[in-house]
Structures are given as structure tokens and as C-alpha cells.
A and B are shown apart, each in its own frame.
Chain A
Amino acid sequence: AQSVSQHNHHVILSEAASLELGCNYSYGGTVNLFWYVQYPGQHLQLLLKYFSGDPLVKGIKGFEAEFIKSKFSFNLRKPSVQWSDTAEYFCAVNAGEYGNKLVFGAGTILRVKS
């Protein structure tokens, strides 16, 4: 069955710490990959996406993610987090055989202490 795994459900960091959130998926074919973010009280919004080309993708607010096909991973990174990065982060995968459906991970709640 299709699945997307996010390794940590809760992460607590101090400001200026580096962030890496793990995401693994279980499809063998062509995939489109997304990271979405939901700030407290706000809409879910796109952080970055990978369709093809350079596997290192840069998104908004200094976030980046690296697609490693051999590891079925799409980890999200930020070198130095800010208090305003406190949010819930979702990894999502669109696999070819599922057409226009997205499968989401369970989410990671990030709290940044000031």
C-alpha cells in the first residue's frame, strides 16, 4: 500500500539550531514530492516541491529539501531555525500510478524555543 513516513512527530529546537525533518515514501516509480507547512491558525501552504531536475530544491523562508531516489527520501532542512518556524510540517507524495492524488505523511510538529 502507498505510504509516506515522517520519522518524528514532535521536534523541539532552540533558535539558530539546524533542522532536518525526515520523509520516506514507498513507491518505486516516478514521484512528485512536496513539503507543506501549517503555521498556527493558518492555511496549509506549499513550502517547496520537486518534480524533476536538480534533486536539491529550495523553497520559501530558507528551507530546502533533497531528493535521494536510492533512499526513497525527501528530507527537509534549514540551517538556522527561527521562532517563527514553529508550525506543523507535512511531506506529501504524488506517485504516477495514483494520478492526481497526494498521499500525506502524519506530520511533524516543530516548536522553536526563543
Chain B
Amino acid sequence: DVKVTQSSRYLVKRTGEKVFLECVQDMDHENMFWYRQDPGLGLRLIYFSYDVKMKEKGDIPEGYSVSREKKERFSLILESASTNQTSMYLCASSLEVAGGRRTDTQYFGPGTRLTVL
């Protein structure tokens, strides 16, 4: 079974703090993704990575950055946390198919509920 783990289930930070969210997958997947999940908005893609050291912006990248130094690990960084970044953050991974032109099933971690005060 694919396993995607996230470093924290719950996190409380103060406005202006730098926040690191870590994600690790154990199935040698090429693709990794960071989403935020908000009620009534579904999942929105923040950033994704299709290879080590490669990253692409998703739909809502503002205020976030990412790092992928190893294939199994994908980090989301909030450079200066703000209250509007209070949300559930989900990490996912998937195999690459069709030379990167498609995604196969994405496997999700348990999520990190971040509260910024």
C-alpha cells in the first residue's frame, strides 16, 4: 500500500512565523502535490513537483514556496504565515504516466490542520 505521511496533524503558529510542512511518500512516485482544503472550495493546488528539484506553481501559489531535494520528500513553506493561510493542507503523490502528460491516481496523506493566530 502507498503511504503518504505528513509531519504534523495539527499546528498552531503566529502571524509572521515561517512554517514548514513536510510530506514523505514511500512508493517512489515521481509526482508530489500540495493542496489546501477549505469548506465549500474543495481542494486547490498550491504547488506540485514532477521530479527532484523541479517544481511548478499550481492555482494558488502566492505566499507559499516548496522544496524537493529528495524524491520521497516534498516540503511546503509559508515564508510569513498570515491568518488567511489557516486551512487544512493535504499532500499527495502519484506515478507519472504518458511521459508526464497525465496523472494516475493520487494518494493523499492525512492532512495538517494549520491555524495561524
Chain B interfacial residues counted at CB < 8 A: 27
Chain A, residue nearest B103 (CB): A100
Interface of chain B residues 23 through 52 with chain A (CB within 8 A): 31, 33, 35, 40-45, 48, 50
Chain A, residue nearest B96 (CB): A100
CA–CA, A102 and B105, complex, Å: 10
Chain A, residue nearest B109 (CB): A43
Which B residues form the contact surface with A (CB < 8 A)? 31, 33, 35, 40-45, 48, 50, 58, 90, 92, 94, 96, 100-103, 105-111
Shortest C-beta distance, A32 to chain B (Å), equals: 6
Apart from A43-B109, A46-B107, A101-B103, 4 more pairs, CB < 8 Å = A44-B92, A99-B50, A104-B43, A106-B42
- Proximity bits, A85-114, B CB within 8 Å = 1, else 0: 000001010101001111111110000000
Chain A, residue nearest B94 (CB): A100
Asked whether A106 lies within 8 Å of B31 as measured between CB atoms, the reply is: no
Asked whether A101 lies within 8 Å of B45 as measured between CB atoms, the reply is: yes
Chain B, residue nearest A46 (CB): B105
Q: Is A45 an interface position by the 8 A CB rule?
A: yes
Contacts of B48 in A (CB 8 A): 100-101
Contacts of A32 in B (CB 8 A): 102-103
Which A residues form the contact surface with B (CB < 8 A)? 4, 6, 9, 32, 34, 36, 43-46, 49, 90, 92, 94, 96, 99-107
Contacts of B90 in A (CB 8 A): 44
- Given the interface pairs A44-B90, A99-B100, A100-B94, the reply to whether A107 lies near B42 with Cβ below 8 Å is yes
Asked whether A9 lies within 8 Å of B110 as measured between CB atoms, the reply is: no
CA–CA, A96 and B92, complex, Å: 20
Contacts of A90 in B (CB 8 A): 42-43
Chain B, residue nearest A42 (CB): B110
CA–CA, A44 and B108, complex, Å: 6
Which one of B40, B103, B109, B110 contacts A102 once the chains associate, using CB atoms below 8 Å?
B103
Asked whether B106 lies within 8 Å of A102 as measured between CB atoms, the reply is: yes
Chain A, residue nearest B106 (CB): A102
Which one of B31, B42, B108, B109 contacts A100 once the chains associate, using CB atoms below 8 Å?
B31
